[in-house]
A and B are shown apart, each in its own frame.
Chain A
Amino acid sequence: MADRVDIKLKATDPTGANTNTTISYVNPKASNSDMKTFAQRLNALTRNTYKESDKIETTNLDFAPDSHQQTPTLTLSATSMSKATVLAQTAQGNGLTYSFNQSLADITYDGDGQLFAYCSNKSGWFGAAVSVDSENKKLMFFAAFPTGSWENVFTAPVTIKVCSTATDHYKAAEVEFTITA
C-alpha cells in the first residue's frame, strides 16, 4: 500500500483549455471508485467539464526493511552414491559387530551459519546415522551392525538433507544427497 495518495483531477475549463487540480492527502485505503466519485463531486462545484482522474501513489522506500542477508553457497562434491558403494567401505569389527564411518561428500559453504544433516525419508533408515563434520566440512555416514546383517543397515533410496542455518548475514540453505538402491 502506498504511503501517500494524490488524485489528479483532469478537466477542461469553460474556454476548452485543460485544467488539472491535484487533490492531496487522500486516504490510501480508500477504494478507487470512492476516489473517482470524490473527484467528480468536487468538479461538480465548478464550471469545468470533467475528463478523467488519475491516482498518484508515492511509496517511501526508506520505510522498507533492508534485505541484508546474502544467499550462501552450499554445495556437495557429490550428490549421490549407490548403497553398494556406501557399504563397500572396509568395516571394522570385533567379531561380533562391524561398523563403518565414511565421508559421503565434501561440503562447500561460505556462510557463517551452523551446518547439520538429517535423513528426510525416515522409512528407509535403520541403524545408521548421518552427520556433518563441521571442522572438515564433510557429510559423514556411520552404521553399526551385527556380523552377517550389514546389508540391512538401511533400505535405499535414502534422501539426506544437508542444511545451513540462517544468520544475520546469511539466509538458510539446503542441498540433498541421495543414496541410491
Chain B
Amino acid sequence: MADTRTITDQLKIDTYFVDGDTRIITLKNPKTNIERSDITSLEAFMHSTNIIVGDKMGSTFGKITKVTSVSKTRIDLDLNS
C-alpha cells in the first residue's frame, strides 16, 4: 500500500451562555478566508433568533468567545514498499 496523506480541517466555534454554560460548534472543511465580520454577523443572528440555548431552562445565548480553525495532516507511510 502506498503512502497516504489525509488532511482534515476543523472549525471550532466556542460559545458562551448567560447561565455560564459553554458550547462548541464544530464544522468540517472550513474556508481559509474567514473574516471577523463573518463571525460577528453570525453572532448577531444567534442573538436575534436565540437559535442555540444553554443548559439551564433554555438560557439565553451570550456570545461567541473564540473561533479556531485547525488543520490536521495525517501521514501514513508504508514502510514495507
Contact between B52 and A26, CB atoms less than 8 A apart: yes
Contact between B51 and A19, CB atoms less than 8 A apart: no
Contact between A27 and B42, CB atoms less than 8 A apart: no
Contact between A45 and B45, CB atoms less than 8 A apart: no
By beta carbon, the residue of chain A nearest B60 is A27
- How far is A69 from B16 in the complex, measured between Cα atoms in Å? 45
Q: How large is the interface on B (under 10, 10 to 19, 20 to 34, 35 or more residues)?
A: 20 to 34
Contact between A23 and B50, CB atoms less than 8 A apart: no
Contact between A13 and B29, CB atoms less than 8 A apart: yes
By beta carbon, the residue of chain B nearest A37 is B45
**Residues 45-59 of chain A, each 1 if its beta carbon lies under 8 Å from chain B, else 0:** 111100000000000
Q: Answer whether residue B23 sits at the interface, using C-beta atoms and an 8 A cutoff.
A: yes
Contact between A21 and B52, CB atoms less than 8 A apart: no
Residues of A within 8 A of B23 (CB): 24-25
Name the one of B26, B45, B58 contacting A38, with C-beta atoms under 8 angstroms.
B45
Q: Answer whether residue A169 sits at the interface, using C-beta atoms and an 8 A cutoff.
A: no
Contact between B29 and A19, CB atoms less than 8 A apart: yes
By beta carbon, the residue of chain A nearest B53 is A27
Total count of chain A residues near the partner, CB < 8 A: 24
By beta carbon, the residue of chain A nearest B38 is A45
**Residues 24-55 of chain B, each 1 if its beta carbon lies under 8 Å from chain A, else 0:** 01111111001000100010011001111111
- How far is A97 from B55 in the complex, measured between Cα atoms in Å? 78
Q: Answer whether residue A61 sits at the interface, using C-beta atoms and an 8 A cutoff.
A: no
Residues of A within 8 A of B46 (CB): 38
By beta carbon, the residue of chain B nearest A39 is B51
- How far is A35 from B54 in the complex, measured between Cα atoms in Å? 16
Q: A26-B52, A45-B11 are in contact. List 8 more A-B contacts (CB 8 A).
A: A19-B29, A25-B53, A26-B53, A30-B49, A38-B45, A42-B27, A44-B38, A46-B11
B interface with A by C-beta (< 8 Å):
11, 23, 25-31, 34, 38, 42, 45-46, 49-55, 58
Q: Which 10 A-B pairs have the closest CB atoms?
A: A47-B29, A34-B49, A27-B53, A38-B51, A46-B29, A46-B27, A30-B51, A48-B29, A27-B50, A46-B30
